Structure formats: structure tokens, C-alpha cells
């Protein structure tokens, strides 16, 4: 019999505070899988009307799937979080768009009727597992000139975008980096971010005394409030001598996890679960790997075409700030001003951090909260560039829209 696709909704999303990767970071002595477990448990705590046995699938993304990020995270984290053993799970990888792909993949299953409710999220502990750890790129990529060597270094791909588009100057990128920090600081001051953060108990060892104690991670560690243009102008350019990409216009190396509840809309309403966003369409696209940051342009074009919408229909944008130049290239392509108030209203990854595979759900959390506050907006997008030359975009509809 022919099937009719069901409407899919974003029920809820949470994340850990994001930390700085490395020995001085808040999660240096915390396991990656435990970060995911905390997020899943918080989703269940916040939604007591959901019987854990009603969860049909757990999809958890990680870019480096070894050590405490290996062993089929969706399954193991689900069991550790207290889900019944009858609930299956799996791991997924699309580098930076891991959590986004976890969401879209389970959404496809829900629309088809294979699932009613699923958990989707991601984790990256870049302190324990640096980007590229254990990988062995095929030498043919370079020897046969399939890609330029710079494609393997994300910061170099950002420099390449500056090269390709001279109007994307270092000064513009610096201004964008400062604004991201300012908007994030204001969002924290206005209590916009904290409500979706899961406090994490962390063990820390004092490097001077060797004594071990416990603390609580409650805020994003990478933020640099008070950042100025003058400070950014003097930063080093680690990817190229006399380059344009600096730590002030990059997202940094971070640790953190996210998780979301995705459901069929009829099931969510039957169970009394919140409906925060309705999925309209999504798309992924490939670009030259050397110009990784351009990926969100064609993925957004594809998603808009599938939805029968134009860029002018989009009232809110949550764009992942892997690099400032990546966002600026997107804005230039679509004729959007650098200071457009629709874009990243509460700041982005330059301030909060970007633990690779987890970030897609952070974007969704922030968009969902903005939808609640802005019922005059009907459509919003979450979009991000993806390593080795890809982009991903999800278009969402605001269920609180008052223009019906």
C-alpha cells in the first residue's frame, strides 16, 4: 500500500556546556560517552510524559570513533543512560554535521513510519581525540591531484576562501568575530542559553599540587567576552604566514555533547510532548574540498528548492561559525548584510565552541528558543559546513507562528 509521510518535529534538545580541549579544559578527565549519557538522561528528566520504552532509536554522532567515542555510541550511551535494553542505537559520522545528520536520518525513519520517537545527538572530545587521530588518508587524493593538500586542514580551507573572494577581508572577519562574542555574552546575560545546558560534574587535578577534586561545569568555557577589534588584529595566523584566519575568527578545539528528541508530530501531541519546531526539508551537498566552507550555499539552495521556498522566506538563520569567513561567504552569496539581525541572534561557535559532531543540535536548540520568542517568524534554517567539502541545511517551521 502507498505510504503517506508523517510530519516530523523537534520535541526538545539539550547540550553540555562546551569546554576547551586539552589538559586545561574542563572535561580533560571526563569520558566522552559520559557527556552523551548526561544529555540523554536530561532529555528524559525534562519530558516525564515520555516512557523510555517509547524511544525507538538512538543515533549518536562522533567524528573520531575510537576509544570512549567508539563502540556504537548510540547503543552503549542509551544503555548507560538507563533506556531499556529493547531500545537499539547506532553511531553516525558526517564530521561537523554529525548531530545534524543524526537528526535528519532518524527524521527520515519517522516520516516513513519506521519510528515514532528517536534520540539524536553527537559528541566530540577533541582533547582526548584530536581531529584526524588514527586516520590514514589514501595517498591517491594528493598523488592523483583529486584534491589539494590544503583540503585536509580545515583552517587552510578557510584561507582558501579568503583567496577566492577578495571582498572577504580579514577586517570583515575580525568584525564578525567580535560581534559573535558580543551577542553570545548578551544572550548569557539575558539567560537565553543556560536553560538548555546540562550541568556536568567534572573531576579536576591541580597540576601544582596533584590533588584531585570535583567541580561543576555550568557555562561554555571558550567564550571571550570583551573581545575587541584591536585584540584580534594582533593575533597570529596559524594556518599561513601573513594569513587572515586567526583564533579570534575560528571556532577552536572543543569538547562537548548534545542530544535531541525527534518525533512524529501526531505521536508527540498524543503523548503531551512539546512541539518546538516542525521539519520542512533538508539537504546535503558537496563542494570542492579545498573550499569546505562554501558547502552551506548549495545545501541551502537544495533545501529551499525542495521546500518551494526562497531565501527571503527565511526569518531566522542559525549558521555554524566554523570560521567567520565561512559565514560571510554564505551571507554574500545570498545578499544578506553582515549585521543582519536574523543571523545568529545569540552568537555562534566562534564564542560557544564547536565540538565537531555535536554542534548541529546546538544550532537547533537556539533556533527553537528563538521561534518561541518570535511568533511572527514562520521559517528558519540551521546550516553548517562539513569537512572535506560538504554542507548541510535543515529548514524548520515555527509551530508558534501567528500568521496562519
* HSE toward the beta carbon, residue 160, CA cutoff 13 A: 18
Residue 342 Cα to chain centre, angstroms: 18
Residue 18 Cα to chain centre, angstroms: 11
User: Residue 11: what are its φ and ψ, rounded to 5°?
Assistant: -85, -50
Q: Which helix (H) or strand (E) holds 112?
A: helix 98-112
Closest CA to 92 of 102, 82, 84, 103: 102
Strands (DSSP E) found in 88-148: 89-92, 117-125
Query: Can you tell me which residue has the cell 599561513?
Result: 240
CA distance 56 to 115: 6
Whether 144 and 39 have beta carbons less than 8 Å apart is answered as: no
Closest CA to 99 of 58, 38, 54: 58
CA distance 123 to 119: 13
Whether 103 and 361 have beta carbons less than 8 Å apart is answered as: yes
CA distance 114 to 62: 24
Closest CA to 154 of 86, 253, 66: 253
Q: Residue 250 carries which DSSP code?
A: B
Closest CA to 227 of 188, 181, 187, 183: 181
Strand bridging mode 57-61 / 89-92: parallel
The CA distances from residue 317 to 144, 209, 379, in Å, are: 39, 47, 9
Residue 324 Cα to chain centre, angstroms: 15
Which residues are designated catalytic?
A: 96, 354, 385
The grid coordinates of residue 86 equal 529493547
Amino acid at each position: 500500500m502507498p505510504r503517506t509521510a508523517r510530519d516530523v518535529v523537534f520535541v526538545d534538545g539539550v547540550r553540555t556546556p562546551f569546554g576547551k580541549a586539552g589538559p586545561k579544559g574542563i572535561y580533560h578527565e571526563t569520558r566522552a560517552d559520559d557527556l552523551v549519557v548526561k544529555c540523554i538522561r536530561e532529555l528524559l528528566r525534562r519530558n516525564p510524559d515520555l516512557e523510555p520504552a517509547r524511544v525507538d532509536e538512538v543515533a549518536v554522532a562522533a567524528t573520531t570513533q575510537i576509544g570512549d567515542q567508539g563502540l556504537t555510541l548510540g547503543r552503549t550511551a542509551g544503555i548507560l543512560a538507563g533506556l531499556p535494553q529493547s531500545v537499539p542505537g547506532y553511531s553516525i559520522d558526517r564530521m561537523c554535521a554529525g548531530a545534524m545528520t543524526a537528526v535528519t536520518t532518524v527524521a527520515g525513519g519517522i516520516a516513513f513510519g519506521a519510528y515514532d520517537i528517536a534520540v539524536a545527538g553527537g559528541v566530540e572530545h577533541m582533547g582526548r581525540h584530536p581531529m584526524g587521530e588514527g586516520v590514514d588518508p589514501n595517498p591517491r587524493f594528493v598523488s592523483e591531484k583529486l584534491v589539494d593538500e590544503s583540503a585536509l586542514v580545515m583552517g587552510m580551507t578557510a584561507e582558501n576562501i579568503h583567496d577566492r573572494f577578495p571582498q572577504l577581508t580579514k577586517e570583515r572577519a575580525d568584525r564578525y568575530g567580535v560581534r559573535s562574542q558580543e551577542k553570545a555574552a548578551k544572550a548569557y546575560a539575558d539567560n537565553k542559553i543556560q536553560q538548555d545546558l546540562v550541568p556536568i560534574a567534572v573531576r579536576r587535578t591541580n597540576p601544582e599540587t596533584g590533588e584531585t577534586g570535583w567541580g561543576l561545569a555550568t557555562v561554555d568555557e571558550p567564550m571571550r567576552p570583551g573581545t575587541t577589534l584591536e585584540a584580534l588584529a594582533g593575533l597570529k595566523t596559524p594556518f599561513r604566514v601573513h594569513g587572515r584566519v586567526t583564533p579570534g575568527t575560528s571556532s577552536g578545539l572543543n569538547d562537548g555533547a548534545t542530544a535531541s528528541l525527534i518525533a512524529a508530530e501526531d505521536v508527540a501531541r498524543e503523548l503531551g510532548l512539546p512541539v518546538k519546531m516542525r521539519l520542512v526539508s533538508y539537504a546535503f551537498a558537496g563542494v570542492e574540498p579545498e573550499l569546505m566552507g562554501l558547502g552551506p550555499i548549495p545545501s541551502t539552495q537544495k533545501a529551499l528548492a525542495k521546500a518551494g521556498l526562497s531565501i527571503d522566506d527565511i526569518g531566522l538563520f542559525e549558521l555554524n561559525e566554523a570560521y567567520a569567513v565561512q559565514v560571510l561567504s554564505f551571507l554574500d552569496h545570498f545578499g544578506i548584510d553582515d549585521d543582519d539581525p536574523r543571523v545568529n541572534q545569540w552568537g555562534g561557535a566562534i564564542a560557544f565552541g564547536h565540538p565537531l559532531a555535536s554542534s548541529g543540535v546546538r544550532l537547533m536548540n537556539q533556533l527553537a528558543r528563538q521561534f518561541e520568542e518570535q511568533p511572527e517568524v514562520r521559517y528558519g534554517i540551521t546550516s553548517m559546513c562539513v569537512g572535506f567539502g560538504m554542507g548541510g541545511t535543515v529548514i524548520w517551521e515555527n509551530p508558534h507562528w501567528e500568521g496562519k
